[in-house]
Structure 1
Amino acid sequence: MAATQNVEDAAQLTIQEVSRLSGLSEPTLRYYEKIGLIDPVDRDESSGHRRHDPAAVRTVEALGCLRATGMSVQDMRSYLGHLAEGGGEAAQLRDLFLRNAERVDEELERMRIRLRYLRLKADLWDARERGDLEAEHRAVDALLPVMRELR
């Protein structure tokens, strides 16, 4: 079954199919079911294999997107809880997503510092390879504040 399949057209999907659609591994899907993040999944009577209905697949796809952002299981649980409560939860959901956007922004800043460090180290070794003592000193001077930021 192709990953582009319309979930509504599917009667029941296997865990492998849901894994491909959501980007979540099969062990992660089993774990999410075990901890109650997703509802217990129906089993095929003859084989005992999990069969996910379209509503469960939509939930798992949403969880796959949330996990891809680095959202915690606790925040995913909160997200699903607010959705289940109905229409008056927009402010809480907005705040949840803004909080996570701030977290990602902080991660990006840490990544930018790491990238700056790596580029400066490359500049340092390039200067050494070329025997350019002045460029080497500039690279060292630029590295010192970045090294402090890394810690």
Structure 2
Amino acid sequence: MNRDDLLNIGAFAAATGLTIPALRHYDEIGLLKPARVDAGTGYRRYRRGQLDDARMICGLRAVGVPIDEVRAVVGRTPGQVGSTLDGHRERLVAQMRELSQRILAVDEFIEKGNPMPALQAVRPVQIRIRVGDVKEAAAFYTAAFDVVFNEAISSLQFGTYRSDRFFLITLEEGAAPASERDGSRFGLLVDDVDAAHDRALEAGAREVRPPTDFAWKPRTSCVRDRDGNLIDLSQA
């Protein structure tokens, strides 16, 4: 190996944006091994050909991609890196939705002057619906209604625990209903029925009834999700 092709750890860090402690850590965990380590001094040296991988690692870690996912794409094609970024973006959007709900809960607690309100009445907080594929169903509902999907409990989560808005729609994976009549039916209050209806259709729902005004109840519509479940949308 040509010594002129090697960079010491300081020069390599400066050229890639990674810190020296980060490079030492990535060597220890096997993510980015130096080309040569001096047996006597322990000094690390890197090939110039490693610069691209190091810069990619720096970029992915800067936006919070987990180490294991970074490891999986080092040396891979741009398309494979793009798939990892797509998945990470979905994770960040889900975190943003959850954070937005927490902010709403904080605002509610501030308004009520009690950080842990005691719920005085018995009320329903969960329904379960059957879906053909939990991941696909979660993608539909988060795209259509901008809700949080809590993967740990396979549930669409509205509000935060112990807040008045808390409610779960749990997705249970199983065989598709024998007919659409076997699906569940539930209602959602939304800020704008027309906008929510259109968004649901764009996400893959089918229209059952367009937004309609009634003399005896709020403006409503009805759509059917991909798994045959009926969703009634009502103007909040």
TM-score normalised by length of structure 2: 0.39
Q: Counterpart of 2:100 in structure 1: which amino acid?
A: R
Q: What is the rounded CA distance, in whole Å, between the counterparts of 1:82 and 1:11 in structure 2? A: 23
| CA-based RMSD | 3.8
| Structure of greater relative contact order (alpha carbons < 8 Å, 6+ residues apart) | 1
Matched, 1:18 2:6: no
CA positional deviation for 1:102: 0.6
**Pair 1:111-2:99 in alignment:** yes
Paired AA for residue 97 in structure 1: L
Going by fraction, where is helix more abundant, 1 or 2? 1
Aligned residues: 119
Report % sequence identity: 22
Residue equivalent to 1:98: 86
User: In the alignment, which of 79, 82, 86 is matched to residue 73 of structure 2?
Assistant: 79
Of 53, 62, 70, 1:68 maps to 62
Residue 103 of structure 1: CA displacement?
1.1
> Distance between the aligned counterparts of 1:105 and 1:66, measured in 2?
17
Structure 2 stretches of 5 or more lacking a match? 118-157, 167-236
Unaligned runs of 5+ in 1: 1-9, 84-88, 125-138
**Bigger radius of gyration:** 2
Query: Which of the two has greater strand per residue?
Result: 2
| Residues 94 and 62 of structure 1, relative CA distance in 2, 3 Å threshold | closer
Q: How does 1:2-151 map to 2 (within 5 A)?
A: 12-43=6-37, 48-83=42-77, 90=79, 92-116=80-104, 120=107, 124=110, 139-140=111-112, 148=161
TM-score by structure 1 length? 0.56
Tell me the alpha carbon deviations over residues 92-121 of structure 1, each in whole angstroms, 9 at most, x when there is no partner.
Answer: 444322111111212223333455556x38
